[in-house]
Copies of this chain bind each other. A is one copy, B any other.
Amino acid sequence: MTAPERGFSESEFAARTQRAQTRMAAAGMAGLLLMTEAEVRYFSGFQTLFWQSPTRPWFLFVPASGKPIAIIPEIGAELMRHTWIDDIRTWSAPAPQDDGISLLTDLLTPLAQGGDTIGVMKGHETALRMPLGDYERLMLGVPGLRVADSTAVIRALRMVKSEAEIEKLAHICAIGSRSFARVPALAREGLPLEDLFREFRREALAQGADDVPYLVGGADTGGYHDVISPPSRRPLTRGDILMLDTGANWDGYFCDFDRNFAIGAADSASRRAYDVLWRATEAGIAAARPGTSCRELFQTMNSVIAELDDQGGDVGRLGHGLGMQLTEWPSHAAFDDTVITENMVLTLEPSLSYGDGRIMVHEENIVVRVDGAALLSERADPELPVI
């Protein structure tokens, strides 16, 4: 299998920036101040694991016209110079007394003097990736500057993927599928779940993943009890229902899907739960077309789930967007009236509770095309596989 090319063409970043600027103009924003990994990378191509260190803030400013401006720690200058960004302003960080604040103040002062509005992401699924005290200090230093929530601007752009992004997503989903196909060879009675997790990670790397940052799951007699736990040392036992859910990535793009297995033998309640969720996913695949809303997609899947569980469950939604982050906007939930459009990449993730506090989750990854959903993950078996 040939991997796609890494990175993106300069024209892709230019197109992203121009689309942002069109939306900014419509929203009356003279600039976007970005500080989160995905957003800085989306507009610049700046890709590093160094974000895992909480020590230094990183900023990208998208002006009303022209290329974005990077305001970053000196340690990142060399890497940023390899991107399409020309205007790179750096300071020697960490510098708790002035971690980029003077540079930002210089940049924003003319806008403040003009009474302009800039966008900062303040909405759902966002965080302020700089010290709150520094943000408050920055705002005091640019009196007159108006700040609006730019979440909707960024959300609208990032939800719809380019063909180059879809190619990367298809690649990592294929790696995920091949890795799950190996689980029957890796899992066996007596193997502690922790060791299976380790073997699965090694397998996904061997299959071509850059990393496997997300791996959760569970295994217990007749069904697992929660879906976000780290693995225990409990050995796999005949009668267990095993679930692995992985977010592996390649070139900064994620797959996010899971697979369920029975160890040795499957109980009938779990087989029934599996069947309901498999059909809920089928219904979701059929419904995920341009023009459908996320609420409708949720209701479509939920009406199948209701055969077995009409409580709504603990997960809060039945899938979400997928891309540079493990989970992205939108949400397949009753509250989300986002209309699905061509080239959205989505997870379909129906779940239900059954039996005595058991839970089961299915998940597939799709890209929405003009004529409907195309699977990026290899479709799960219609019946609960027994290992």
Contact = CB atoms under 8 A, between A and B. Distances in A.
Given A92-B316, A127-B130, A335 B97 contact: yes
Contacts of A55: 124-125, 320, 327, 331
Contacts of A327: 53-55
A107 interface: no
A167 interface: no
A258 B225 CA distance: 39
A228 B79 contact: yes
Interface stretch (A183-191, A198-206, A296-304): A198-206
A264 interface: no
A387 interface: no
Interface stretch (A44-52, A274-282, A374-382): A44-52
A230 interface: yes
Contacts of A201: 205, 211
Given A79-B228, A316-B92, A320-B55, A216 B50 contact: yes
A229 interface: yes
B93 A316 contact: yes
Main secondary structure on chain A at its contact with chain B? loop
Contacts of A308: none
Contact of A228 (B50, B228, B247): B50
Contact of A123 (B122, B131, B216, B228): B131
A333 interface: yes
Interface in A235-275: 247
A291 interface: no
A94 interface: yes
Contact of A96 (B77, B92, B124, B128): B124
Contacts of A124: 55, 94, 96, 99, 131
Interface of A: 6, 47-50, 52-56, 73-79, 92-97, 99, 120-133, 135-136, 149, 151, 197-198, 201-202, 205-206, 210-216, 225-230, 233, 247, 312, 314-317, 320, 325-327, 331, 333, 335
Given A92-B312, A128-B128, 11 more contacts: A52-B325, A54-B127, A79-B226, A94-B317, A95-B316, A97-B335, A122-B131, A122-B136, A132-B135, A198-B205, A211-B213
17 contacts: A47-B230, A48-B230, A49-B214, A49-B215, A49-B228, A50-B228, A55-B320, A74-B316, A79-B228, A94-B317, A95-B316, A96-B335, A122-B132, A122-B136, A127-B129, A128-B128, A202-B202
